[in-house]
Chain A
């Protein structure tokens, strides 16, 4: 195997991941966004030889959460760098790395085969900032086809992303760049129907970090079955409150929705690009008034913020609220039909 560079590089030993009479896989840190995942190998010139790959924090998080297997990290490491090192030669937890190529020999002799995931480790992975997420449990009943699970999960995901994005936008710890992306998700789409609403929600999803993104914890496909999702406790609480409000006042909220929707439809505004809407005059005033009433009926506390995020454009504001209603309505229907019941939020 060719050694491509002579210059020494260092990394800090973080933890053993897999143990069998000794470390079989370990994790090293180079920088906050540069980790090295490594496996024990056979090599005569080192006492405890390892072969590692330079991965990003995001890749590590994906691996840690079981989205990708160990082989993926070695085949597609973010930093496209591979190393040999001797764990025995480490001093003060500092490991000296020798950059090498990922060649045919490494592929055949070092890189793990497909199917080894983080949950297969013998050693628990040390806590990271993404620990401490809550679990939302749903009990399911009745007949569920796979598309039903998908549809339900999409509703939960959209509602979660909507609420989380609003929280992030007002958080002092969130970067300006991320806030700009949230703003663009709310205001950067024409909202003429169909995919443009999908774009709004996919935009909100994309600004979530792996650490607070909703993920499926457990899915039991049976009748009765169970769906567990993991996410932030405060966001689950907000979605639960929205559902309770929706359930208690469904008819009144639906009337408000119909009033606003019918008005937009009558004035051919549903399919109009929101940027082309002349946001002044009696029509605009009426839409804003109805939207505010609608947001009160939905008990949306962040209505003012949503209005700001939609560039204080009454038509954009109205369309975002209508889209939010449709997702809440879809979510609520699973409960109303008796197919989902007894949601429970469990703090970690």
Chain B
């Protein structure tokens, strides 16, 4: 593995031909606590798939690389705050995960994390706990 895991394969197909994806600022140092909105109490791997993997069309104003990432938050307070938006109230649960170093590339923007998982990373195995919102 290179300094950012350059030789690792990603879990999802990432866009090519444009700017580097994941961006150079992303790191593979892991994240002790990360939180992901999930729809049910029993998460499945698909709950961690990006919209690109779900073959959703790329929206206006969104970078294709980011469209292929999984959104996480760095703390529970932020999750609660985001639920003030009605569209995110469809997620009735949150999964706390622990991302070990070398699991994928992470880009932190404020409290939001874009996560590009390596193919060796199993999001379900990384779940520490699941709780209702």
Task: Please list the residues of chain A having a beta carbon within 8 angstroms of any beta carbon in chain B.
Answer: 13, 15-16, 18-26, 39-42, 47-48, 70-71, 87-88, 90, 93, 95, 109-116, 120-124
Contact = CB atoms under 8 A, between A and B. Distances in A.
Q: Which of B60, B71, B112 has the most CB of A within 10 A?
A: B60
A78 to B, nearest CB: 22
Interface string B71-115: 100000010011011111010000000000000000001111000
A39 B59 contact: no
B52 to A, nearest CB: 10
Contacts of B85: 18, 24-25, 39-40, 112, 116
B57 interface: yes
B41 to A, nearest CB: 20
A16 B58 CA distance: 13
Contacts of A87: 59-60
B65 to A, nearest CB: 13
Contact of A116 (B51, B81, B111, B112): B81
Contact of B61 (A20, A23, A40): A23
Contacts of B111: 122
Nearest to B114: A19
A114 B66 CA distance: 29
A191 B82 CA distance: 51
Given A21-B70, A22-B67, A123-B109, A47 B57 contact: yes
8 contacts: A18-B85, A25-B85, A39-B87, A40-B85, A90-B60, A111-B86, A112-B86, A121-B110
Contacts of B78: 120
A19 B84 contact: no
Contacts of A16: 61-62
B6 interface: no
Contacts of A109: 86
A305 to B, nearest CB: 45
B50 interface: yes
Nearest to A93: B60
A178 to B, nearest CB: 35
Contact of B81 (A19, A47, A48, A115): A115
B37 interface: yes
Contacts of B112: 19-20, 122
A95 B61 CA distance: 12
Interface of B: 37, 50-51, 56-57, 59-62, 66-67, 70-71, 78, 81-82, 84-88, 90, 109-112
B61 A24 contact: no
Contacts of A70: 84
Contacts of B109: 122-124
Contacts of A71: 84
Nearest to A95: B60
Nearest to B50: A21
A21 B60 contact: no
B110 A122 contact: yes
Contacts of A114: 84
A18 B81 CA distance: 12
A26 B61 contact: yes
The residue among A48, A114, A120 with the most chain B CB atoms within 10 A of its own CB is A120
B51 A21 contact: yes
A22 B62 contact: yes
Given A39-B86, A42-B90, A20 B60 contact: no
B64 to A, nearest CB: 12
- The 8 A-B residue pairs whose C-beta atoms are closest, nearest first, are A122-B112, A116-B84, A113-B84, A40-B87, A21-B71, A20-B71, A90-B60, A16-B61
Nearest to A90: B60
Contacts of B57: 47-48, 88
Contacts of B60: 13, 87-88, 90, 93, 95
Nearest to B69: A21
Given A88-B57, A115-B84, A116-B81, 4 more contacts: A16-B62, A20-B82, A20-B88, A21-B71
B128 to A, nearest CB: 20
Contacts of A24: 82, 85, 87-88
Contacts of B81: 115-116, 120
B110 to A, nearest CB: 6
